[in-house]
Amino acid sequence: MDLHISPERLSALIARIYDCALDPSLWPDAMGAICDELDLRTGVVSLIDLGTGQPLLASATGFDPAWLGRLHEFSDGLVSLWGGEAVVRNMPLEEPAVLSAVNPVAISEESADPFHLGFNQPQGFVDAIAVGLTRDETMLGTIGFNRHESHGLVGPREIAIMRLLVPHLQRAIAVSRVLEMQQIRQTNLETALHAIRAPLFMIDSDLHLHFHNSAAEKVVADSGILRVVNGTLILTDPEAQRRVRKALLSVGACDDPAKASPFGTAFTDAENAPWVAHVLPITGRAGSAGAQYMLFLAGPSLREGSAALEALASLYALTGAETQVLQRLCTGQSAKQIAEDLGIALSTLKTHTLRIYEKTGLHRQAELVALARGALAPV
């Protein structure tokens, strides 16, 4: 399919999305750019703490201020507009949802839906496209866009381009969660980064170190897995060093950033304990002069059980089935045991496993298990 979008424009959209990970105030600009590219009228992004019910992120663009102020009056009917709670909960995170396909009755001429009649129709909204950013027992994150009647219903081009943006939108939210957005809003960025338990390094494409937090300082001093020489980060394991450099180069050299693999590598320390290094672009266009990246480590002391599993799945855009396979792989189950446990054929299990390899950028089962164990508690 001809998407009618150049690699440069797609790259610019992706760069805007990652900028929002460190500065949530940029979400209106990023959503506005997506609206301009896809002929959408409004955008809303939200991240809700399910424990407190409070929004950790709430931002909108494109609305008339008067209507935006009234959105709370109709918010209870939004789930019904999309077909009800069961439909919404079963929407796959990896695929954009289009209202005219999910629940066409709600926006038809015969519609009796209160949200559509009271909020959408008066503003000329005839369709919507939404993406699930995260959905687990602690957080619910979504981003959605409305289509105005002047452009008709959401079509194949909009769906195809949004599908390319999905993993980047989800990774931006995953990074935001790692950086504890609430604390970032209340304190300056450097103080918040020092408070994060994960060792975090800000580097450029040559691994020149621009910042590292307190946890990273401790890892450099105590773990023996890396060191800083003349301002450059060097991993003790030459293979891990090579793969981190390769990840950085792949981001910069890829003409189509949406096709770049998720960036990470697994390795072990001197005591054979597993570690995982994740690399994400954070400022500037990946690979350009001045571009910076965040490298953060997950090691034996940083495992967080099911929450870490969800974060890992979100980071690498794993489907639910792939996440279940990954979880079982890290327990040492055999392929036959995993297939029987999940009630699937061995051929289906092989397909899931190959897709996990592709998404994580790994090539061997030992590396995959090290990746899982580096981020997950034993189960």
pLDDT, position 371: 64
Query: What digits encode the pLDDT tens for the residues 322-365?
Result: 888 887 877 667 889 999 989 999 999 999 988 888 887 777 76
For residue 58, give every residue at least 6 positions away whose Cβ sits within 8 Å of its Cβ, in sequence order, or none.
Answer: 45, 46, 47
Q: Please give the Cα distance from 55 to 185 (Å, whole number).
A: 13
**Of the options 1.25.40.10, 2.120.10.30, 3.60.20.10, 3.30.450.20, the CATH number for the domain spanning 197-302:** 3.30.450.20
Per-residue pLDDT of the chain (379 residues; tens, 9 = 90+): 456 788 889 999 999 999 998 888 999 999 999 999 999 999 999 988 777 777 778 899 999 999 988 888 888 888 899 999 888 888 888 899 999 999 999 999 999 999 999 999 999 999 999 999 888 777 888 999 999 999 999 999 999 999 999 999 998 888 877 665 455 455 556 776 777 777 889 898 889 998 888 889 988 998 888 999 999 999 988 888 888 888 777 765 555 544 444 456 777 777 777 677 777 776 555 455 567 888 888 766 544 445 456 556 766 778 888 888 887 877 667 889 999 989 999 999 999 988 888 887 777 767 766 666 555 433 2
Contact indicator for 94, 65 with CB cutoff of 8 Å: no
Q: Please give the Cα distance from 303 to 376 (Å, whole number).
A: 5
Q: Please give the Cα distance from 153 to 129 (Å, whole number).
A: 10
Q: One fold for both 7-182 and 303-379?
A: no
> Domain extents for the chain?
7-182, 197-302, 303-379
Give residue for tokens 């009647």. Answer: 149
Number of Cβ atoms within 10 Å of the Cβ of 33: 18
Question: Is 303-379 in CATH node 1.10.10.10?
Answer: yes
Class of domain 7-182: alpha beta
Give residue for tokens 């940029």. Answer: 26
pLDDT, position 310: 59
3-state secondary structure 32-101: HHHHHHHCCCEEEEEEEECCCCCEEEEEEECCCHHHHHHHHHHHHHHHHHCCCHHHHHCCCCCCCEEHHH
For residue 319, give every residue at least 6 positions away whose Cβ sits within 8 Å of its Cβ, in sequence order, or none.
Answer: 92, 93, 94, 355
Q: Please give the Cα distance from 298 to 11 (Å, whole number).
A: 28
Residue type, 348: T
